[in-house]
Structure 1
């Protein structure tokens, strides 16, 4: 995957590749920093353990990830603002030898590292990239790059896990190369692309699409801060000033901008807008299509385990009552709809989407969940059970129906409700909890039974210490007892009726 950067740096060394709030980096600068980081790691690494990135939303994060990959190692982009309890669970799985941090974040990284049972060494970005790489480092980097294979792990992105432990999705070079090549060709991306990123670099859209599509096409990527999205009209004016022509955002952001008048002011020269992560509200889509009549819109379906597996390009003037997820990415994936016995369902009937092709390798350090979700068929094709139910029409177009388990999509993230329940159950004084998703209101609701000594404020404080913001329940409902079925199990249907 580092070939994209290397080729772009040869072709366009002085072109600006990444712009963040602090600096801009050219393709030549990205490659120079990446090679120096790769050389340092390659000359010091023993066992091939993942390398954690304790960096902000900036171009340096991308340079560091490429350097780790050049050294033949897997990089792990971290949300360094997440609760330390959750970070410790991640590090307990990873057991890394190294953390890469910049000077601004180094003290926090060192303090956290010192609290771990296995203390990783914190390497400072500025020190790794200062001066020329010694001959020994260049030689070690050359050997490491020569020994890499397409099936090596490239990145590990942590997502929500139902047991309370986050799942580390291991993606290979092969998987992300297949997606990147498809994306650039299908969407017609080239050096003229000027892209605005909304997703964090530890989220699949940011880590997979925004970064690698830009490097492969030779475009320019603007990493906008979260604060830029607070005021839609100001955001659109800023995009116009930057000449943004390409965006890949979650539907909730498209909806927010449309509802808050963001489309009524100055607008950017959008040519390509696509979205995934949750259903796109049809009213919001209609507003965007009206505001940008010459822009190409498309709905994409995927997950961290898949990147993107299907898409639906919306035709100019096409009238839609609902938005399908479309068809498999040509030349990349095959999607089968299977029943509970593993047989394909007839056209028009509902089945679980099982994706065959270049999918993620495993859940890091979790053989049981890997066996449950991934497999290899008799022809040697890898596949992934998505847990999403869909139906296929006569034209081969897929329409999403629902989840088959307790995983939901909220704020663009896939969330295991069980992880929220596990965090709640760990709170002293709480005896039972059930978390449900109110789809109509797009909110997480936690029902719980607890001792009188546990206040709602105290419970919420414990949850915010253990869970990332997008997993915080918006509503807490205290019950005297959980409703039960005859067999003694909690009656979740009765709770759903209380939403």
Structure 2
């Protein structure tokens, strides 16, 4: 009887690179401004690192976190961990050390791959690391072997402020990667701008869909993101043909002069992670009149589960998320979208233990399927296409990242100076304002709150403003009056903008 720990459970994902090496050995696999790695070379480097990991005890019963800045080295490390049959858990090297330690504990990580000499590598890890290559080292953690199904572990916010791991089986990532490459006609001539954080599910396209087609993953420099005009220049210089990003990034590119005349090679634009504002989407269509433009939708738990060809969209109408991708089945239950099929997660990983949030759902065709309730309100338009309305719960999508407002509040409440906290979002750009009930006489209360937020939350979850409000307003039922706080936040935002003008 086959067990969850057999390497064959990740063979679909692991063999994507093997097939690329066999089919496109001389094609460029990874490019930076200074380096070029062919698929043959990538395959050799991955195989060598995988051998060293196996010699160090890494295998199917292990969970290996990769704490390496986004780079060719990080991509090689991820492929190598997958090749061993272990669970791979990419981490963000820019996260605070305390958050990284929390993620390691949540994942039940048995090993940690680090980059020697990088300032983001914690001192305690650097001291206990053993070399597994010229720049990489392996840290063993005192964690018992797990029975996790090998795959890809990505982290999302939890309602208590503690991140939870979403374990995607290797076959789920492989299914998405192959569908994505085929659906847009990706080829070995394409150059894909790999800009997504390795902890973000969008990065699975950059790493694996490119390999499916023998395309080039061009590593986007992190420092460029705050500078849209420089990003446009980089896209042109690198002759990028395909870009998969969040609307915030793509809107900035268009606003900075990105269009068919300045980026003639960019023929495919894909977006996901958050709704694209209607007016801005019309600008994107005008800027790239001949490009393929797709809206891909799906929470981390399903990766991409629906898709929509934006060329069919009419300005002034809601932007659909389309319909299910190949082999995926979707249904609307109590106005909520539920998803079944090969892209579903194995489960959530908390303290190294898996819990399955999926439920059995009877679909309209009469079949009962294991399905994930997305928490998103949807409806079908007159053309039968799914349209996203909003969240069932209090999680939001901002700049492509999922943020749990309850989680932000929970972290703030850990400060001894906070009596209560409430987070709201306002404005088209979803400004996150955190109201805290603190002692008005305290001169250090806000400083204490801001310190713990910096320590415990990643940059994308940080509030735009922390506002003292004592006491928090309540409604007739005694609960926090969030509509009133949204009004206060809107006034706060307006006052701030007027002061800056």
User: For this pair of structures, how many residues does the alignment match?
Assistant: 460
Q: Distance in 1 between the 2:264 and 2:160 partners?
A: 44
Post-superposition Cα deviations, 1:145-165, rounded to whole Å, max 9, x if no partner, equal xxxxxx942111111111111
Distance 1:63 1:489, change over 3 A: same
Quick check: 488-497 or 465-474, which moved more?
A: 488-497
CA–CA distance in structure 2, aligned partners of residues 464 and 96 of structure 1:
24
**Does residue 1:240 correspond to 2:236, yes or no?**
yes
The structural deviation recorded for 1:265 is 7.1
8 Å CA contact 2:436, 2:468 repeated in 1: yes
Q: Is the 8 A contact 2:417 2:449 kept in 1?
A: no
The residue that corresponds to 1:147 in the other structure is: none
Q: CA deviation at 1:338?
A: 0.7
Measured after TM superposition, the shift of residue 47 of structure 1 is 7.3
The equivalent of 1:336 in structure 2 is 331
Secondary structure of residue in 2 paired with 1:104: coil
Cα contact 1:54–1:101 (8 A) shared by 2: yes
SS in 2 for 1:497: helix
Counterparts of residues 63-74 of structure 1 (less than 5 Å): 63-74=76-87
CA distance in 2, matches of 1:198, 1:46: 29
Distance 1:123 1:167, change over 3 A: farther
- State the Cα distance separating 1:238 from its structure 2 match: 2.1
Q: Is the CA contact 1:161–1:416 (under 8 Å) kept in the aligned structure 2?
A: yes
Unaligned runs of 5+ in 2: 1-12, 138-147, 490-501
Structure 1 residues 370 and 389: alpha-carbon distance in aligned structure 2, compared to 1, 3 A threshold? farther
Paired with 1:156 and 1:414, the residues of 2 have a C-alpha distance of 16
Please, which of 214, 218, 230 is the counterpart of residue 222 of structure 1? 218
Task: Provide, for residues 169-193 of structure 1, a one-character-per-residue CA deviation record: whole Å limited to 9, x for no partner.
Answer: 1010121122112112211111111
CA contact (8 A) 1:101 1:124 kept: no
Q: 1:385 aligns with which of 365, 370, 373?
A: 373
Matched, 1:37 2:49: yes
Superimposed CA distance per residue, residues 123-159 of structure 1 (whole angstroms, 9 cap, x where no aligned partner): 5442779xxxxxxxxxxxxxxxxxxxxx942111111
Q: Which moved more, 1:487-496 or 1:28-37?
A: 487-496
Q: 1:243 to 1:440 in 2, by over 3 A?
A: closer
Query: How far apart are 1:308 and its partner, in Å?
Result: 0.4
Structure 1 residue aligned with 2:4: none
Query: Structure 2: how far apart are the matches of 1:70 and 1:47?
Result: 10
Q: Distance in 1 between matches of 2:350 and 2:263?
A: 46
Deviation at 1:367, TM superposition (A): 9.8
Structure 1 distance, partners of 2:20, 2:196, is 23
SS of 1:93's equivalent in the other structure is: helix
Structure 1 residues 11-90: aligned runs within 5 Å: 11-21=23-33, 23-43=35-55, 44-45=57-58, 48-90=61-103
2:317 corresponds, among 315, 321, 325, to 321
Q: Equivalent residues in 2 for 1:272-287 (5 A)?
A: 272-287=268-283
Q: How far apart are 1:199 and its partner, in Å?
A: 1.0
TM-score (norm 2): 0.85
Maintained 8 Å contact 1:98/1:122:
no
Q: Is the 8 A contact 1:236 1:263 kept in 2?
A: no
- Per-residue CA deviations over 1:238-282 (Å, capped at 9, x if unaligned) read 212222111111001122223344449732411111101111122
Contact 2:241–2:266 under 8 Å retained in 1 = yes
Give CA deviations for 1:85-117 in whole Å, capped at 9, x if unaligned.
211211222332321123333x754624389xx
CA distance in 1, matches of 2:133, 2:263: 37
The Cα shift of 1:366 comes to 6.5
Pick which of 297-306 and 376-385 moved more. Answer: 376-385
Contact 2:297 2:305 in 1 (8 A): yes
Unaligned runs of 5+ in 1: 130-150, 340-350
Q: Does 1:312 align with 2:321?
A: no
**2:193 corresponds to:** 196
Query: Could you tell me which residue of structure 2 aligns to residue 427 of structure 1?
Result: 415
Residue of structure 2 in register with 1:355 after alignment: 339
- How far 1:492 sits from its partner (Å)? 2.4
Pair 1:493 & 2:496 matched: no
- Structure 1 residues 304, 21: CA separation in 2 closer, same or farther (over 3 Å shift)? farther
